[in-house]
A and B are shown apart, each in its own frame.
Chain A
Amino acid sequence: MANIRDLRQRITSVGNIQKITRAMEMVATTKLRRFQEKAVASQPYAEELDRLVRGLSSGVVSDSDTKLNVADFFQVGDSSAPTGVLFIGSSRGLCGAYNTNVQRELEAGLETLSTDTKLFVVGKKAMNHASRMEHTVAAYFEDLDPEKMDFSEAVAVSKHMVSSFRSGDLSRVFMCGTRFKSMVRYEPYFEAFLPIEAPEGEAAAEPLLEPNGAELLDRLVPRYLETRVFYALLEAVTSEYASRRFAMKNATDAAGDMKKDLTRSYNRARQQKITSEITEIVSGAEAL
């Protein structure tokens, strides 16, 4: 028979844990909502820039004789050079399978590459993983806090990768993070970042370009890449909180079930004790 006092203690401690996980669930829910709003708000900018780059690059890049500063953005670098990967994970734990999923996606993505890789890492948990797996880490953005959502931090990350790419240290750059689809759907991805894939074929109706195509792309392309990093970070944080909310909800539910089972055992043990006490008293009285 389980000890009554032990059972009572366990019920209390499970109850305490439940309170904590419920609080964390609520915090994650509010934060998730905030980041989701931000992600939705910044989506149009990212989309418009993407459209603009695609529209302009098909016209300009095919023009091979234009002296384009950004032409190398559209070409794969020295194929013997390593590939860079921006690897975005979380800085904090207790967020379910979030980090494991990105890690798995990263491993799968790296297997498709034939070159050496250099990682650009965001998030403490991602860094832990990278050092355990003995990947070469080119940069670890330790101070970057995606929760602050500062555009200039995204700019710094983007610049770092872009300069390595343009100097020929990297042949290509990929991004590995998590895409936020909805409160209950967030999927890891591994996709190309550099070179930019210019769409095939002729551009539709040639627009007026002010001042001219080359200068426009010069300014547009870096901003486009920065925005992609910014949006990737924002989506990563949003997914992290969605994942944490889900994990904490499961934990709270599990704690509730456990408490119910424990209470049942506790009551049974209590009744058994009373029954046996009564039996003892009755048999004692009969003996008299």
Chain B
Amino acid sequence: MAAPPFNLRIISPQEILFDGQVVGVRFPGEDGELGVLANHATMVALTRSGSLRVRSTEDDDFEFVVHSGFAEMRNNVLTVLTRAAENVESIDLDRAQKAAERARDRLRDAEGSFDKELAREALSRALMREMLARK
């Protein structure tokens, strides 16, 4: 018997990346991976950088990179709010490497006016992209 579907939405400040019916989602929670199926209890969770895996209603899997953010399950709608996300297949490895390099430079540059915290976040995002794209 096919698992019942529910709605998944992945939203970043720039766009809605995904909005559709799925049967299962696994995503990186703050204290470890969390899995969500249809009719999950109402929940709000922190997410960290990592891969969000989706089982679609057609029974194939796909994967997104998500970064720190929030996930909310309510009335059979899972809403993932994240600073940035992309489909793993569309990751531009070149760009990710350059972003990582830039972030490292900014961290090294002790006198620079760059916000270290922002640079660290950017670095972890870039590294995660690289890692998942290589897989």
Contacts and interface: CB of A to CB of B under 8 A. Distances in A.
A209 B29 CA distance: 11
Contacts of B13: 42, 45-46, 151, 227, 230
B41 to A, nearest CB: 6
Contacts of B3: none
A45 B43 contact: no
A26 interface: no
Contact of A52 (B12, B68, B81): B81
Given A207-B74, A210-B31, A42 B14 contact: yes
A205 B42 contact: yes
A46 to B, nearest CB: 8
B131 interface: no
B79 A48 contact: yes
B12 A45 contact: yes
Interface in A49-63: 49, 52, 55-56
Contact of A38 (B14, B69, B70): B14
A210 B43 contact: yes
Interface residues of A, number: 29
Contact of A49 (B15, B34, B81, B122): B81
Given A210-B30, A227-B13, A230-B13, A48 B81 contact: yes
A41 B9 CA distance: 13
B63 to A, nearest CB: 21
B44 A216 contact: yes
11 contacts: A38-B14, A155-B118, A207-B74, A208-B45, A210-B29, A210-B34, A215-B46, A216-B44, A216-B45, A219-B68, A220-B70
Given A45-B81, A215-B30, A223-B69, 8 more contacts: A44-B9, A48-B11, A49-B70, A56-B44, A151-B14, A152-B118, A152-B122, A208-B45
